[in-house]
Structures are given as structure tokens and as C-alpha cells.
Amino acid sequence: MSDCIFCKIIKGEIPSAKVYEDEKMLVFKDIEPKAAVHLLAVPKTHFKLLSEMDEEKAENVKYMLSKIPQIAEANGCKDGYRLIINQGDDAGQTVFHLHIHILGGENLGW
Ligand code: 5GP
Ligand code: ZN
């Protein structure tokens, strides 16, 4: 999607601190970290909301979840981490390209 920030990051049109990339997903550092380690995992295929989920998109998210543990552990989250998906306005979703927040590198409390 041409006006999507995360699609632009995926295409390299906006710089980002990438920590992992393959043909299906990209993981990069959040620009405003909310924890000592704050990464964003995004599918390379644009979709806006978790509520748009279908079988194909779920396969993509399943693939991302299969990769995240090793990526998190390799990037400062050996003692644990939290995954968050914000869905819609009440959750404070600001970027409408599905993303999984990976938070860790410290004791997070709740
Ligand atoms: P949301 O609130 O939509 O779940 O999370 C969007 C996240 O994207 C926020 O944590 C915000 O800091 C991050 N973000 C927004 N714009 C950029 C950007 O241009 N680069 C990076 N690396 N992160 C961004
Ligand atoms: Zn996008």
C-alpha cells in the first residue's frame, strides 16, 4: 500500500533498524521504544487489522509466531518477552499494517 509507513519500511523507502528479514516478514526496532527491547514484527503482505484475518493471513501470522522466539532471544530477550497486537482505536492502534510488538529486555511488570 503506497501510503503505509510499514510498507515503505519494507520497501526500504523509510529507514529502519532491521534485526531480521526473510521473504515473508521483517522485524525492526520500534522508533519510540516502550521497553528496553521493543521490536515490531510485520508481514510483508499488507493488511490493516487483526479483524481482517482469514486462512491465508493466519498462515502468515503463524509463520511469524514460529520465528519470533529465536529472533527475540537473539535480540536481548533471553529471560522472556511479551507479544502485543493492537486492534483498532480502543487499543490505540496507530499504524494500520498488522504488526506484533515484541517487548522485553527488562522485567515488564504488567
Ligand atoms: P500501534 O500503536 O499501531 O500498535 O504501534 C505502532 C508502533 O509503530 C508504535 O509503537 C510506534 O512507535 C511505531 N512506529 C511508528 N512509526 C514508525 C517508524 O517510522 N519507524 C519505526 N521504527 N517505528 C514506528
Ligand atoms: Zn502496509
Q: H/E element holding 61?
A: helix 55-74
Active site residues: 99
pLDDT at 77 over 80: yes
Residue 68, pLDDT score: 98
* Model-wide pTM > 0.95: yes
Task: Find out whether the beta carbon of 14 lies less than 6 Å from any atom of ligand 1.
Answer: yes
28 lines ligand 1 (CB under 6 A): yes
The mean pLDDT value for 40-45 works out to 98
Q: What is the mean pLDDT of the chain?
A: 97
Alpha carbon dihedral 75, 77, 83, 88, in 10-degree steps, equals -60
- Tell me the domains of the chain and their CATH numbers: 5-104 (3.30.428.10)
Alpha-carbon dihedral sign for residues 88, 94, 98, 103: negative
CA–CA gap between residue 70 and residue 67 (Å, rounded): 6
The β-bridge partners of 102 are 39, 83
pLDDT above 80: residue 1: no
